[in-house]
Copies of this chain bind each other. A is one copy, B any other.
């Protein structure tokens, strides 16, 4: 493991990638992200059954397998960091399963919008958080923001369906807001429950981190991009 590469030689102390506080925090973070990927894989596989055609179903299944590949990379990093990968993932099972219970799609369209919103938010979050992380972990998260084509799959399908059906558009606009609300609510609960993770996000003596103002700004940026994506779908009522 190369852990010496620090971003720029500024007057600040080098990022303490080896401190126990940092390692605990990044293990928590990867556990949360990893379980998120696992549950996305599982739920997309289920939601694929709502597809109107076999072609759409297979494409949704294909996108699901990308989530599983991300999980594999994350689990391997957890092992490198000395963690028990499955135990670490398991810490976040309840939160994600609660999220998915509250956001079980009623039909194919809600399933598509959920993929679009979830994939978009995950990628924004990975990009934002990766700037605080050691180079190896950062590389894994940035790799997970690439590929799959979730947005390209969803966009034309939902736009075409909503062009023909104003009631569907209005229902999906509401659904998009609900997904975002539930995601933020579960994310906040996870951060509150996991001290190490909260330490990473809020920063501290042994941690690069963000202060509270920056953290608020980060969630603000993620929310803004969600709104932009819903606009791209034509669902910005």
Q: Which residues of A contact B (CB under 8 A)?
A: 38, 41-42, 45-46, 48-49, 53-55, 58, 61-62, 65, 68-69, 71-72, 75, 86, 89-90, 93
In whole angstroms, what is the CA distance A58 to B69 when docked? 12
Residues of B within 8 A of A69 (CB): 65
Q: Please tell me if the beta carbons of A48 and B42 are within 8 angstroms of each other in the complex.
A: yes
Kindly list the 3 A-B residue pairs having the minimum CB-CB distance in the complex, ordered from nearest.
A45-B45, A55-B86, A54-B90
Q: From the candidates B65, B72, B86, name the one contacting A68 in the complex (CB within 8 A).
A: B65
Quick one: copies of this chain in the complex? 2
Residue of B whose beta carbon sits closest to that of A84: B55
Residue of B whose beta carbon sits closest to that of A53: B86
In whole angstroms, what is the CA distance A29 to B41 when docked? 29
- Report the minimum CB–CB distance from A228 to chain B (whole Å): 32
Residue of B whose beta carbon sits closest to that of A69: B65
Add 18 more A-B contacts to A42-B61, A45-B45, A62-B72 (CB < 8 A).
A38-B58, A38-B61, A41-B45, A41-B61, A42-B45, A42-B48, A42-B49, A45-B46, A46-B46, A53-B86, A54-B86, A54-B89, A54-B90, A54-B93, A58-B75, A58-B86, A65-B68, A65-B69
